[in-house]
A = this chain, B = another copy of it.
Amino acid sequence: MDGSAPPQFHPTPRSQVRRRPQRAAYDEATVFSILDAGLMAHVGYVIEGQPFVTPTAYWREGRTLYWHGSAASRMLDAVGDGAPVCVTVSFLDGLIVGRSGITHSVNYRSVMAYGTARVVADPTAKRAAMEAFIDRLYAGRNVKLRPTTDAELAAITLVAMKIEEASAKMKATAPAELPADEGWTAWSGVLPVETRIGPAIAEPREGPRTDDLSPYGPGVRLDEALTRACRSPRSARNA
């Protein structure tokens, strides 16, 4: 402990949580722990006043989020040249079942991250980022893969968004028990929800499963596997 405050995001009215602020957090550690447990984000952007929300795979490096897709994608056309975006990552952790309608709810973890998305056009930077994505998911895998060609790289549009503001919001509770619920005996409790890896489906003539896939054993929670993978040492090619 050196007495310095842990890194925080500083909310403006854009990211300040208004509803149930006791469930909110703005510190980097909490925000990053949620972002690093996920693979799919919902990216929100605006075209001529119309909102769009596109689900897409993402990854994080420091305070920057990345996602990619075909250059044909409407999302990337719209956000690539510096449009404001909101990137939301959420986990449903449980169904809360109460004794009155009002006490039914869900447990969850979520982050809303705000920034300006920009296309990464430089081929060297693009190649490094795409390899970092593979290694973030499957640490050490890049060196086992057939290298990406320049033409393949050119067909990918890569977007980077520096996180300007972010808020986390979480709930992990049992059902509320209101005074008016007394005497009502409907079953009450939490039905946990867990997202896990299933049994792998191998392609014919596959090589052996290597260490880069070790976080993803059958039955493992996906959020835990993703967190473990992104803490693992990366490929030499990418170091």
Chain A residues within CB distance 8 Å of chain B: 14, 18-20, 39-40, 42-46, 49-55, 57, 69-70, 72-74, 84-88, 90, 92, 94-95, 97-102, 104, 106, 108, 110, 112, 114, 130-131, 134, 137-138, 141-142, 144-149, 152, 156, 174-175, 177, 180-181, 184-203, 205-210, 213, 216, 222
Contacts of A84 in B (CB 8 A): 49-51
Most buried by B among A44, A88, A152, A206: A44
Contacts of A73 in B (CB 8 A): 18-19
Task: Write 25 A-B pairs (CB below 8 A) sorted by A numbering.
Answer: A18-B74, A19-B73, A40-B106, A44-B52, A50-B84, A53-B87, A53-B88, A54-B112, A55-B108, A92-B195, A98-B145, A100-B145, A101-B130, A101-B131, A101-B147, A104-B134, A144-B186, A185-B206, A187-B208, A187-B209, A188-B202, A189-B202, A191-B213, A193-B197, A194-B197
Q: How far is the CA of A26 from the CA of B91 in the complex (A)?
A: 27
Nearest to A105 among chain B residues (CB) is B57
* B216–A187 CB distance below 8 A: no
Q: Shortest distance in angstroms between A163's beta carbon and chain B's nearest beta carbon? A: 14
* A201–B197 CB distance below 8 A: no
When A108-B55, A195-B194, A195-B195 are in contact, do A46 and B43 touch as well, CB less than 8 Å? no
Chain multiplicity (copies): 2
Name the contact of A190 in the complex, choosing from B42, B189, B195, B201 (C-beta under 8 A). Answer: B201
Nearest to A149 among chain B residues (CB) is B180
* B45–A88 CB distance below 8 A: no
Additional 7 contacts, C-beta under 8 A, given A14-B50, A18-B72, A196-B196: A42-B55, A44-B44, A146-B181, A146-B184, A187-B213, A191-B197, A191-B201
